[in-house]
Structure 1
Amino acid sequence: MKKINLTGLHKLRPRYSETDQMGVVYYGNYATYFEIGRVELLRSVGMTYAEMERGGTMLPVVHMNIDFKIGAKYDEEVILETSITEEPSRKISFYHALKNKEGKLLVKGEVVLVFVDTKSFKPKQCPEELKKLLFKASLKSL
């Protein structure tokens, strides 16, 4: 499996509705933040989820692992780093790190998705066009 070195950054500011009674982001909302990171990273290389779906490919989540260090607070500016480190095959893994503006790690996680056919829902290989875009973007980031 080939290595890829691709990281995208996305600024977030937790809204009041995303926090709990303690004033920190409710733990379930980090999955949404990670989705934002994935969508924006793919968009930055030139591929959207909508384009993949029109091309016959969907990406359901099959695994998620989240480590909570310190909760992000309401209205605190945070940076979401989303990375891909390996060539996708039938699956693609995204690594996420949410940090405050001082660079302190708040939350980290991994999300694994599989490529499936939109009609049959059977696993399939990563579309070649996406692989090409990921490698091209990875080379630019070196």
Structure 2
Amino acid sequence: MSLFSETKLRVRYAETDQMGIVYHSNYLIWFEVGRTELFRNLGLPYTVFEEQGLSLAVVEASCRYRQPAKYDDELVVYTRLEKFTSRIIKFSYQVMMEDILLTDGKTSHVFLNKEGRVADVRKYRVWKEVATKIPSLKI
């Protein structure tokens, strides 16, 4: 299994500002789409975590805007899993149009339990499944 995904999307009119350029916050939404697809491609849709009482909270996000995207552009969000521990997950992203890098960024997340406290995912059933999909983890 790859710890990398490619997600294709087309810029919708509603994602642009009055100048016809993608509004900056939409890139963070596209990052979320990318990491959701990465997990889904690993056979671990986000619902698997939710069913066990876990959620992922964004604790840090960065985004560097290099070139603008515009309405109807065809883009690819490249998402890479950079770090996965029992409490923290980190991702990096690149938003490309053909061979042009438009935006790159990173996000860091922590696992939370139902009470909203940081959780150790090793204490949940899903950990064994995660560890089989991500070879660098230990059961």
TM bracket (short chain): 0.7 to 0.9
1:109 counterpart = 2:126 = no
Cα distance, 1:83 vs structure 2: 0.2
Q: Provide Cα deviations, 1:69-99, integer angstroms capped at 9, x if missing partner.
A: 0111111111100001233331100101000
Residue identity opposite 2:23 in structure 1: Y
Q: What is the aligned counterpart of 1:27 among 13, 24, 27?
A: 24
Query: Superposed, which structure 2 residues align to 1:1-142 within 5 Å?
Result: 6-101=3-98, 103-118=99-114, 120-126=115-121, 127-128=126-127, 129-135=129-135
Q: Name the SS for the 2:135 alignment partner.
A: helix
Q: How many residue pairs end up in the alignment?
A: 131
**Residues in 1 aligned to 2:33 and 2:57: alpha-carbon distance in whole angstroms:** 15
Cα distance, 1:125 vs structure 2: 2.3
Q: Provide Cα deviations, 1:3-37, integer angstroms capped at 9, x if missing partner.
A: xx721000010000100112111001111101100
Unaligned runs of 5+ in 1: 137-142
Unaligned runs of 5+ in 2: none
Q: Name the SS for the 1:64 alignment partner.
A: strand
**Residues in 2 aligned to 1:40 and 1:135: alpha-carbon distance in whole angstroms:** 19
- Give RMSD over aligned pairs: 1.8
Cα distance, 1:111 vs structure 2: 0.8
- Structure having greater relative contact order (Cα 8 Å, sep ≥ 6): 1
Residue identity opposite 2:120 in structure 1: Q
State, as a whole percentage, how many aligned pairs show the same letter: 35
